[in-house]
Amino acid sequence: MTTLGGLAMLLGLILLATDAGTLRISGIVADPPTGAAATTGIALLLVGAFTKSAQVPFHPWLPTAMVAPTPVSAYLHAAAMVKAGVYLVARFAPAFADRPEWWVPLVVVGLWTMLLGGYRAMRQYDLKLLLAFGTVSQLGFLMVLLAGGTRVSELAGATMILVHGLFKSALFLTAGAIDKGTGTRDLRELSGLGRRWPGLALLATLAAASMAGVPPLLGFVGKETALEAFSHATVTDVLILAGIALGSVLTTAYTVRFLVGAFGGSDERPGAAGGPGAVFTAAIAVPAGASLVLGLVPGAVERFAGTYADRFPGRDYHLGLWHGLTLPLLLSAVILVGGYLLYRRSAVFERTAGWLPRALQADPGYRAVLRGLNRLAQGLTARIQTGSLPVYLSTILVALTVVPTWGLIIGSVGPGRPTFVHSALQLPLSLLVVVAALALPFARRRLTAVLLTGMVGYGVGGLFLVFGATDLALAQFLVETLTLVVFVLVLRRVSAPFVRQHPVSRRGTLVKAVVAVAAGTFVAVFAVVFSGLRESRSRVGRAYAELAEPEAGATNVVNAILVDLRALDTVGEITVLLVAAVGAATLGLALARGRGRVIPVTESPVAGSATDTDPDTTGSGDRSGGRAVEHPPDGAGEGGR
């Protein structure tokens, strides 16, 4: 699921970077791109953020990841990994916060996630699962705050990112201490831990109170700032404020559920293990105590949170424990009381289990998507990975033709006034290339096809000569000659004519012809268009021309590039030619040594040999060393073949 989101995020970033003309986030934020491509990029970017931060409908992965050890959960699921999507939204919020395609999905999905996560947390009995769904809810809360686009909402969002990391890491470690000390995390089996482990209970209460927004903890400061951010008379702000308040009521309810379930009761069951040691207790005390200390001095948090929030328009609001008798303070009191009352009525959450239609449930939908992807992969693989070289080539050529051609059609790119003939010698050479290429599909013998292919290559080399690229023409002639020699040596081992084992339908031939013509046309148009776009020498070309004589003592720039400026590339190309020459010589020596060797009549052909695997040799007689090989009588070796 996160891989799917990562791919969407990558595509979105590519679209935004292409439209903005820079890969730097600071450049995109300074001059945000506009248009359809930017809108699509924003949508894909949000999909990536939603999956990374477990927003609806991508939330099921986070509770499932609770099988990890508790310290891992405390770090990854409270502070680091689950905040990746939130961080991504925070980085791009200064650029897109005022656009509906940005803030509307964030608000809608964030509120939905906040409410659903809180509801699911009220139905959990495992301490870690309860906290996991609480994390889902808090991540939705953070998305809503960062979507606000005002200084106060962004200040609240930056503050709550820190607050969430502190209280949730402490609570996850608390769940781990309970699990290690008692052997269970089930609320129905825990009782009396508050009396047995008062120190752990006190630290957990501090962290949980920060999660619920109880003063004077930092959670209260952040939540009151969040309520202040949407305390306006507009319809949108009122709806968002109502959603945040309801989600906060659920947060308070499952906070009480956690504390009472883990530390309440009077029965001292189960287990007789002692409480967590000093090191484990200190690990819990650090984030829990930080919530209290920073709540008392919120100005320390505003030093960095305010730096981010100052990039947005809005009122000059500051973090603080007391802002007077305000609407956010009243709402905070209502949320705490309402959350406790909702906890007392938590049985209603049990009665609503299973009321959601199966079509709207996340887990069945996820499995249905996986089944669909598997069927799609199997069908696509069966049609593309057929083991047929023509099919592979056609797939490559179609992709090469369709995608750039679409860009050429919808773009404004076009050649100026290309000159089609520069010299009279171009005409006969071009005619030779065209005639040889057109005759090639009609060749019926392998040697004829090789010679026609060589004619195309020699004709292209001649065109290089016409344009004055002597060194390039020489390289072309050498490669064509070497290739021709290798082909001839290899073809001496197989039958001369092309033999079709299976009839080819006229429709299949027509499809191949269409693909070939389309690919060739694209290459020709592409070459003409982009060669006509050059108005002057490129920066690299100018640098090579300027360095040729002083650095290499050469007046021929191409030679200077090949021999001096990019000598390592030339060495690599020479190495390739050397390997090909060695291969050709090896084939020639093997052919010479193989002459005169006759396979006995009783010897079966070796599977995988050149005479056994080439489908075109069927019915034409095997060859070895240039002379026909005598086969065993019928039935003696057919099984092996």
Residue-wise pLDDT tens digits, 286-305 = 999 999 999 999 999 988 88
What pLDDT, on the 0 to 100 scale, is given for residue 356?
66
Amino acid at 364: P
Pick the more confident residue, 102 or 494.
102
pLDDT band (50, 70, 90) for residue 482: confident
Which residues, other chains included, contact 305 with Cβ-Cβ below 8 Å and sequence gap of 6+?
A: 155, 158, 159, 162, 319
Let me know the angle formed at the C-alpha of 263 by 258 and 266, rounded to the nearest 5 degrees. Answer: 135
DSSP 179-204: HHHHS--BGGG-BSHHHH-HHHHHHH
Listed in sequence order, the DSSP H helices in 97-234 are 100-121, 127-147, 151-182, 193-196, 198-212, 218-229
Indicate if the pLDDT at residue 574 is higher than 90. no
Q: Which residue did the predictor score with more confidence, 229 or 81? A: 229
What whole-number distance in Å separates Cα of residue 407 and Cα of residue 395? 19
- Partners of 624 in beta bridges: 627
Name the residue among 212, 213, 226 with its Cα closest to residue 156: 226
Judged by average pLDDT, the poorest of 102-116, 336-350, 600-614 is 600-614
Rounded-to-integer distance, Cα 11 and Cα 13, Å: 5
End-to-end CA distance of the chain: 48
Q: Which two tokens stand for residue 421?
A: 């003939």
Residues counted in the chain: 641
Does residue 90 contact residue 52 with C-beta atoms inside 8 Å?
A: no
Per-residue pLDDT at 394:
86
Instruction: Check residue 546 and give left, alpha or beta (phi > 0: left; psi -120 to 50: alpha).
Output: alpha
pLDDT at res. 638: 38
pLDDT tier at 141, thresholds 50, 70, 90: very high
Contact 295, 221 (CB under 8 A): yes
- Confidence band for 627, pLDDT divided at 50, 70 and 90: very low
Question: pLDDT at position 626, please?
Answer: 40
Distance CA 34, CA 47 (A): 19
Is 598 in contact with 629 (CB distance < 8 Å)? yes
Q: What is the largest CA-CA distance in the chain?
A: 108
Whether 213 and 248 have beta carbons less than 8 Å apart is answered as yes
Distance, in Å, from the CA atom of 596 to the CA atom of 603, rounded to the nearest integer, reads 16
Residues 6+ away with beta carbon under 8 Å from 169: 74, 75, 78, 79, 287
- Confidence check: pLDDT of 454 > 60: yes
CA atoms within 13 A on the CB side of 584: 16
CATH 1.20.120 domain span(s) along the chain: 389-535
* Distance of alpha carbon 143 from the chain centroid: 21
Query: Which token pair is 473?
Result: 């023409």
| Residues 6+ away with beta carbon under 8 Å from 478 | 577
Assign 107 a pLDDT band (cuts: 50, 70, 90): very high
- Region 417-436: mean pLDDT is 81
Mean of per-residue pLDDT scores for the chain? 82
Arithmetic mean of pLDDT, 478-501:
77
Architecture per CATH, 389-535: Up-down Bundle (1.20)
| Greater pLDDT, 570 or 415 | 570
Nearest alpha carbon to residue 136 among 56, 243, 44: 56
Look at residue 595 in the predicted model and tell me its pLDDT: 60
The answer to whether 323 and 329 have CB atoms below 8 angstroms apart is yes
The least confident of 10-14, 159-163, 381-385, 605-609 is 605-609
* DSSP secondary structure code for residue 497 in this structure: B
pLDDT at 222 (0 to 100)? 93
CA-to-CA distance for 384 and 563, rounded, in angstroms? 44
Assess whether pLDDT exceeds 80 at residue 136.
yes
What's the rounded Cα separation, in Å, for the pair 285 and 292?
11
> What's the mean pLDDT in 551-559?
82
pTM attached to this predicted model: 0.67
